[in-house]
């Protein structure tokens, strides 16, 4: 009887999907990972900024097109897998101080149609 060559099957290991994450950066920017951008902003190129001083939250409302109040979303990093919005003008206007990078959980507010980023 002839021999049969045994070749072990390749194990395909897929990386676990990353959860949506956001960061408030020291320079007054909001940074989103790709899952947060795709899940909440759904490919928008711009956002309008909102602020809830009582709750201490910044709101990002996705806009496909530029408006007078819109801020652009920039893809940065290796593979352009991180997205940033310059929220420094909002922070300066409302006197919001960010002294260090801070990870936060992004939350979609369905009733307002915007992504909430908590500052507290």
Enter the DSSP assignment of 28: S
How many domains are there within the chain? 1
What residue numbers bound the domain in which 59 lies?
A: 22-118
User: Does residue 47 fall inside a structural domain?
Assistant: yes
How far is 103 from 17, CA to CA, in rounded Å?
A: 18
61 lies in some domain: yes
What pTM was computed for the model?
A: 0.82
Please indicate, yes or no, if residue 15 is contained in any of the structural domains: no
Instruction: Return the minimum-mean-pLDDT range out of 15-24, 45-54, 67-76.
Output: 15-24
pLDDT over 90 at 27, yes or no = no
Q: Is residue 86 part of a domain?
A: yes
Within 8 A by CB and 6+ apart from 5, the residues are none
Higher-scoring residue by pLDDT: 82, 119: 82
Position 97 pLDDT exceeds 90: no
Residue 2: CA atoms inside 13 Å, Cβ hemisphere, count?
A: 2
């Amino acid at each position: 009887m002839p021999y049969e060559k045994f070749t072990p099957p390749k194990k395909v290991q897929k990386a676990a999907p990353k959860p949506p994450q956001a960061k408030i950066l020291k320079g007054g920017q909001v940074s989103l990972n790709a899952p947060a951008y795709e899940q909440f902003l759904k490919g928008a190129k711009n956002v309008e900024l909102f602020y809830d001083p009582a709750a201490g939250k910044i709101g990002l409302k996705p806009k496909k097109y530029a408006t007078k109040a819109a801020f652009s979303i920039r893809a940065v990093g290796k593979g352009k897998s991180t997205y940033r919005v310059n929220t420094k003008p909002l922070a300066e206007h409302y006197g919001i101080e960010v002294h260090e990078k801070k990870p936060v959980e992004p939350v979609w507010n369905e009733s307002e149609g915007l992504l909430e980023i908590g500052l507290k």
